[in-house]
Structures are given as structure tokens and as C-alpha cells.
Amino acid sequence: MLSEERSEVLRVRKRWFVSLGVLVLGGWFLYQENNVIETTAITIETERLPKAFDGYTVVQIADLHGKSFDPKQTKLLKKITQAQPDLIVMTGDLIDSRRNGEAAALTLMKQLTADYPVYFVTGNHEVRRNLTLLPKLEAIGVQILRNTAVPLEYNGANIALLGIDDPTTTRWSEGLQESDGTRKSLASAQETVDPSTFQLLLAHRPEYVPLYAERQIDLVLSGHAHGGQIRLPFTDGLYAPGQGFFPKRTAGQYTVDTTQLIVSRGLGNSLFPFRLFNRPEIVVITLKSQ
């Protein structure tokens, strides 16, 4: 009898230890998936790029959603610094409309502007917060592109950097459909750009790449899709805002006509709190002149 009772106690303990081990491993896995930052390197080769820009490096960050990787964002800053960028761009959703996250966002951007030129375009979460973040970004030196273009000079040559607002801006303020708002924003951004100039566009939404291709943009940097948020091994993302289930463009490089699109998986989370098989990333783009 005692032997049977002892065996039962051992079986119960074993089940507890196994359950505890599963919980510990699961927690460790979720932590890694949501806090280990990956660097994705992409090279863009094009004959439209001036030879002077050969080797020009752009670091794209996207969809921070107010996330803190540590109190001073040291881990993220280290990853960005290692890339030795000539330019840093943030393609929207720096904050989250549900939980704000302004302090973490401004902590990051203030340190970046101390060492690099930093450009920003709005995402839908900035719009939901009535764009109250924008003057705070401008005060720390972030250059905001709102349906406009600026020249980027490097080694005596120029390309055009364009940026458009998230289409929710015109949907809410002017009652336009998102596609019509996007077309209007693109027309405004290209108004002063010579068509012969290489055009680099910052636009939060990757799902509107056919519209970017209509305007013959050379290279577009987007985010918004969060890499599909949840991925299974050897699959693309399962769901993306603006694209729904089994989205077409959630991460990496795509080509539509003569337009090349790069979609960042982003850094933070919004409605769904976890990433699975989809770690936070920064994208390092190197431009090469063919």
C-alpha cells in the first residue's frame, strides 16, 4: 500500500515538473520572439540610382507601437548603430492608439536625431491620436514628410525622398476613400520632383503598392503588416491589417512593374499582444548603382 501511495506521489510530482517545464519554456520562447531584434539586410540595385549613391545605407524602423526593449532603448539603438546608416526612416505607428507609448517612442527618436538624419511618416495610430505626436517629434529634430518630397544629397548627387500620410488622414478629414486619398497624397508629394530623379517613398501601407507603381516610384518602404503577426514555420503571416487573412505582402521585398517594395515586419505589437515565429526587425537597405 505504501509503495503504491509513493508511486502515485511520484507520478503527481512528475506531472507538475513537466507542466512547470512547459510553462518555463513557453515563456522563454515568447520572450525571445517578442524581444530579440533581428537585422534584415536588403540590397537594391538599379541603374536609375546616381553612381555617387552607390553604397548608401538606409535603416528602416517601423511599427514600434510604443514598445520599450529596455528603459533607454539601448538594445534597439545598438542594432541601428551597428548598421552605420547614412539615413534613418520610420514608416509609421511609432506609438499605439490604445496604450500611447509616447515616452518610449520619444526616448528612441531623441537619441537617433543626435547622430543621424531621421525622417518620419504617419501611420494610422498617429492619426487616431489626432497627430498630437508630430510637434513633439519636430521639437527633437525628426523631419516629418507629409505628402511632400525633399532632396537627399550625397557625394554631390541627389535623389528624392518622398513621404505620404497614412490614408486614414484624408478618409477622416476629407471623406475620401483610402485609395483616392493615397492618390491625392502621391500627386502632392511628386509635384516638385523631376521624373528622371530616383524616388524613394516612405508610405505606411504596403497594400497600396499598385498605386505607388502607377506613379512609377522606384523604391517604397512600408510597414503596417507586422510581418503577419503570427507565422508558422516555413509560412508567411496569417493575418495583416489592411490585407486580411493570408496576406500577400507582409515582409521582405516585392516588385510591381518597375516599383520595388520593402515591407518591414516592424518592432512592436498592437491589438494582438504576441509575435510567433516573427521576431522584431530593423531593415538595412543598401543602394547600389548598376
In the sheet that 252-256 helps form, which strands lie side by side, from edge to edge? 148-154, 157-163, 199-202, 219-222, 259-263, 252-256
Res 212: pLDDT: 98
Residues 6+ apart with CB under 8 A from 106: 136, 137, 140
Q: Answer yes or no: do 245 and 114 share one domain.
A: yes
Q: Answer yes or no: do 75 and 188 share one domain.
A: yes
pLDDT in tens, the chain (290 residues): 556 666 655 665 666 655 555 565 656 667 778 899 999 999 999 999 999 999 999 999 999 999 999 999 999 999 999 999 999 999 999 999 988 889 999 999 999 999 999 999 999 999 999 999 999 999 999 999 999 999 999 999 999 999 999 999 998 888 899 999 999 999 999 999 999 999 999 999 999 999 999 999 999 999 999 988 778 777 778 888 888 888 999 999 999 999 999 999 999 988 777 788 889 999 999 999 98
Q: Answer yes or no: do 67 and 101 share one domain.
A: yes
Q: Answer yes or no: do 16 and 132 share one domain.
A: no
Domain count within the chain: 2
Where in the sequence is the domain holding 20, given as residue range(s)? 1-35
Q: Answer yes or no: do 151 and 20 share one domain.
A: no
Q: Answer yes or no: do 5 and 132 share one domain.
A: no
Q: Answer yes or no: do 10 and 101 share one domain.
A: no
Identify the CA nearest to 137 among candidates 150, 121, 151.
Answer: 121
Q: Answer yes or no: do 11 and 76 share one domain.
A: no
Note whether 95 and 108 are within 8 A (CB): no
Task: Work out the angle at residue 95's Cα, subtended by the Cα atoms of residues 69 and 73, and round it to the nearest 5 degrees.
Answer: 20
| Pairwise CA distance, residues 232 & 236, whole Å | 7
First CA to last CA distance, the chain: 83
**Amino acid of residue 214:** E
Res 17: pLDDT: 56
Q: Answer yes or no: do 83 and 181 share one domain.
A: yes
Note whether 46 and 218 are within 8 A (CB): yes
Q: Answer yes or no: do 25 and 99 share one domain.
A: no
Q: Answer yes or no: do 12 and 83 share one domain.
A: no
Q: Answer yes or no: do 220 and 178 share one domain.
A: yes
Res 19: pLDDT: 56
For the domain that residue 263 is a member of, what is the CATH number?
Answer: 3.60.21.10
pTM of the model: 0.91
